Amino acid sequence: VEVIEVDDEGAAAATAADVIAHARPDVLGVATGSSPAGTYGRLVERRDLAPPTVLCLLDEYVGLPPDHPRRYRREILAALGAPLGLAVVAPDVDDPDPDAAAARYDATIARLGGVDLQVLGVGRNGHIGFNEPGTPFDAPSHVVELSDATRRDNARFFGSTQEVPARAITQGIGTILRARRIVLIATGPGKADAVRAAIDGPVTPDVPVTALRGHPSVTVVADRAALGGRRPAAPREVA
């Protein structure tokens, strides 16, 4: 795992955008949430990406109407897809059989040639995508029941915890690990435990982000707060 320590959220956005732009991905895997928002803003400002690059969602809620503003597909379209003219590929959460839709999503990603670079945030409990603690590291894309903790964390994007959907389709950890390169963005003290675990905690399905240690090309872009105040010489390699 390569760790790039930056001062703050703005620097994390600029650094992660640089890494993505230099990688010139044909298929960019995109997380939603607050962690990558600034990065996407930079990519748009500098027009770093252009067709035929396509955007491939990491996860999506099940149960929201197609025009709901919190649908991740809509958020990514607004933040990146529409401004840069990029197509967005998403799991078909409107399929009455979401399990079948989840299984099809891995086939869709494979048909695209796989994800070249996957952008990730991390949940405070260490979840990646919506892979909650306990998810096997080889899991394919699947339907998940969201934990209460995750629904409470995401209530800030809705009116209340009750309005956060109870289910989602997520790329599985196995799917995420097939991306050729992974860039994890983490800022703020709330992520310190998850980031510490990702860098040097015991590798365990109890903390899904630790699965990244089995991947050959992971870059963590984190601000000082997310690194818990530790000050490694940046960038640095951690085994």
Binding residue for ligand GLP, selected from 38, 98, 123, 174, defined by CB under 6 A = 123
Positions in 152-211 near ligand GLP (CB under 6 A): 154
| Complex with ligand GLP: residue 27 or 195, whichever CB lies closer | 195
Q: With 0-12 CB in 10 A as exposed, 13-18 as middle and 19+ as buried, what is 92?
A: middle
Binding residue for ligand GLP, selected from 91, 121, 165, 208, defined by CB under 6 A = 121
| Calculated CA dihedral for residues 106, 111, 113, 118, nearest 10 degrees | -30
| Contact status: 129 vs ligand GLP (CB under 6 A) | yes
Distance of CA 189 to the CA centre of its chain: 18
Q: How far apart are CA 116 and CA 126, in angstroms?
A: 23
| Contact status: 33 vs ligand GLP (CB under 6 A) | yes
| Contact status: 34 vs ligand GLP (CB under 6 A) | yes
| Contact status: 98 vs ligand GLP (CB under 6 A) | no
- The residue count for the chain: 239
Cβ atoms within 10 A of the Cβ of 46, count? Answer: 12
| Complex with ligand GLP: residue 105 or 130, whichever CB lies closer | 130
In the three-class reduction of DSSP (H, G, I as helix; E, B as strand; rest coil), residue 129 is classed as coil
Q: Site residues (CB under 6 A) for ligand GLP?
A: 31-35, 58-59, 121, 123, 129-130, 150, 154
Residues with a known catalytic role: 59, 125, 127, 132
